[in-house]
Structure 1
């Protein structure tokens, strides 16, 4: 196993690749959107650690107080994403990255680490079965099957913000809340915009562009949240097939 890892900093952010979208061969505006988002987050204690190779092997986490999610708690880390893809699976990279995060949390005197999960694994969320092997436990739930998992070092636990459990909004049209934390979001938003314009589908595409907006969202959120007919649908990023399935409801 290659043990050469690198953490993104304000000094190397412009030159280091962002692992999750490394397979894209065309110019990708989501990459620069992600870099811009990270440029402000890194000074807040946000961590993006990756294998120093052309690979999709990385972990991303941040202090819960400054994490753009409607989760509240004191002195925790929030784990946005842990991803090992392709031929690098099964080599121990996921274990190494998780152990780094947990050791970092303990060294910083954190109370623990938490992450978003679900009773049924969601495509765009980190593997909660893997996290549970390290001792993560469900500490809060929503009525529609989402879970907050946490590994507590001191017995305290975080929780979903009360507004995150509403799962309802007044608008009945397709509504998507999103931020630029994930490089795939820019591309997905362009596809959805074009589709909705082509078929005259009313849609509200709302960019979450501040910490306050993220903490006040009416649904669970990792970087994306979809509503239709006033009800929350998913945190999964949408392709056209998934979007059409929602619109048929």
Structure 2
């Protein structure tokens, strides 16, 4: 949630204040970027909550995402949760997955998005490996050595900085995760640890008076979000890159262009 203190100067050209936090209700209008954001949330998450009827289970490092957006879960077939998945097989919308997307840095108000998926469970078909890229195959091999279940989404709802939106399933299946956002935590840690001087200079773009602690809280292929923290709140400001970054090696040039 972004709090904008009264009397804050207007942002400089190219600086975009991030909108206020999620609304209490209602359904917003989906955009093409929502499908990419949903795929990023799923791919970057290390855990998710599985709900079957009135039973919930928190799965840690037990899911992977196929190129078409199908979610693969590693759940022991002999466990209670596995038994419920067996009972739910083939029933549309019988499986619910919830993912909370947190800013990967130590700041207040870390929740950036919540993703809800209602889907249909089936046993994972090894033939699906034929359509997987090497990175996806490796993510599947990293799953616990128990039964694999494929959850085909029937409904995808993303709750970010506006009203929750129902993501178009066709767009969701066709989307690919943002190449930078997937490794966002590692990129932000590297920036903070090794390039504090660059961050300090970027901070002057959002807080020229240097009256706040400026922290990078979000990063994707199209820009970086800096948070100016003050005792009475904080302000998130997005600095868009001149052009999308396709690999981590291009981040340095994109940041230099912002400073220029």
Is this a same-fold pair by TM over 0.5?
no
- As a proportion of its length, which structure holds more strand? 2
Of structures 1 and 2, the larger Rg is shown by: 2
TM-score (norm 1): 0.29
TM-score of the aligned structures, taking structure 2 as reference length: 0.28
